[in-house]
Amino acid sequence: ERDRIDSTREDSPLVMADDAIEFDNSDMGITAQFNQICVLIDAIIL
């Protein structure tokens, strides 16, 4: 609900940055989240 309100407001709406990486961790445990983020970081910096 808050994201919808923030993204549809007239003044300075919330928008995803052009270079953002969307990470859906809805169905992940904390260890899986950590491991996946490490993979993403490695892909960016290596």
- Per-residue pLDDT at 1: 86
pTM listed for this prediction? 0.63
Residue 30 Ramachandran class (φ > 0 left, ψ -120 to 50 alpha, else beta)? alpha
Contact 36, 28 (CB under 8 A): yes
| Tokens 């983020």 -> residue | 37
Residue 5: alpha-carbon gap to chain centroid: 18
pLDDT tens digits, 1-46: 888 899 999 999 999 999 999 999 999 999 999 999 999 999 999 8
Query: What is the C-alpha to C-alpha distance for residues 7 and 23, in angstroms, rounded to an integer?
Result: 18
pLDDT at 24: 94
Q: Do 40 and 23 touch, CB atoms closer than 8 A?
A: yes
